[in-house]
Amino acid sequence: MTTPFGTRLRRSMDQHGPLCVGIDPHRALVEAWGLPYDVSGLERFALTCVAAFGGRVAVVKPQSAFFEVFGSRGIAVLERVLRELRDAGTLTILDAKRGDIGSTMAGYAAAYLGAEAVAPADALTVSPYLGYESLRPAIDVAQQHGRGLFVLALTSNPEGASVQHAVAGGRSVAASMVEGATVDNSLARERGELGSVGLVIGATVGDAVERLGLDLVTAATPVLAPGLGTQGGTVAALDRVFGAARPQVLASSSREVLCTGPDVAKLADAARRVADGLRP
């Protein structure tokens, strides 16, 4: 794979609208669909989502935890989901939020993004709170194989600010993540393209982007913005939070779309409505 992830993401957002739909088969949703909360229900839930979203949305984001809870059988379902979405031509972000150092981080990168990965995702969410450079093994693997990363930067959970807004050496922790992404996206920025090292910034973080002085436009970074819909995020909020960087934002919605299931057509229609509403 030679085309960088950021380039492929830009094309997909332009074609389908800047929406990422999550596949979050937690117990309440699975049972609300009238399915048993076991591996068979997990599989039916996940593959229904594949049928509804594959080839129709910019990105699909399976939440790894809800597959991992069923052990190796759940992981097998996740691998099938990733393969079938790839076959449908749909980009995937595996939401696993991995973070470690050295050979362990390299192992995570190989497992999810490497050439020998069983079912590699197009991108992986990662946690940088051992320092941005602790992600270097994953950054290198992603760049080598045309894949991407989304680095946690500003999350909307109440506890996040105590770490992400903290200041050391005159800059916030969140700003250090943006600076790291800026450097790693420099070649893409010179080409006028979107970079492949993205950031996770919640759709409901209020004025934090402006207040912390985060220059997302210069960073040329894609932004994954969870929280759209039932978590309170709106299109107007995205405009306020991200300002001039709004064209770089991939808004993520899970429950707002998934609650319309299990009918495939209704799921697809819901995703289409949300995506159309996000277009400039």
Residue 91, domain member (yes or no): yes
| Preceding omega of 262 cis (within 30 degrees of 0) | yes
The CATH number given to whatever domain includes residue 143 is 3.20.20.70
3-state helix, strand, coil in the chain (%, to 5): 50, 20, 30
Instruction: Give 14's pLDDT tier (boundaries 50, 70, 90).
Output: very high
The torsion angles phi and psi of 56, rounded to 5 degrees, stand at -120, -20
CB–CB of 187/7 below 8 Å?
Answer: no
Average pLDDT over residues 234-238: 91
Q: What's the half-sphere exposure (Cβ side, CA atoms, 13 Å) at 20?
A: 30
Res. 1: pLDDT tops 60: no
pLDDT tens track for 144-182: 999 999 999 999 898 999 999 999 889 999 999 999 999
Please confirm, yes or no, whether 97 is among the known catalytic residues. Answer: yes
CB atoms within 10 A of CB 184: 24
Residue 116, domain member (yes or no): yes
Burial 147-166 (b: 16+ CB within 10 A, else e): bbbbbbbbbbeeebbeebbe
Res. 250: pLDDT tops 60: yes
Residue 1, domain member (yes or no): no
Residue 204, domain member (yes or no): yes
Residue 230, domain member (yes or no): yes
Which pTM does this prediction carry?
0.96
Res. 12: pLDDT tops 70: yes
Number of domains making up the chain: 1
Work out the end-to-end distance of the chain between its first and last CA atoms, rounded to an integer number of angstroms. Answer: 30
The helix (H) or strand (E) run that includes residue 60 is strand 59-62
CB–CB of 204/232 below 8 Å?
Answer: yes
pLDDT tens track for 70-114: 999 999 999 999 999 999 999 999 999 999 999 999 999 999 999
The pLDDT of residue 233 is 75
Residue 77, domain member (yes or no): yes
The pLDDT of residue 169 is 87
Per DSSP, the three-state class of 226 is strand
Residue 186, domain member (yes or no): yes
The pLDDT of residue 230 is 63
pLDDT tens track for 187-201: 999 999 999 999 999
Mean pLDDT across the chain: 96
The helix (H) or strand (E) run that includes residue 197 is strand 197-201
- Residue 244, Cβ density class (10 Å: 0-12 exposed, 13-18 middle, ≥19 buried): exposed
**Of 26, 80, 97, 165, which one is the catalytic site residue?**
97
For residue 28, give its domain range. 6-278
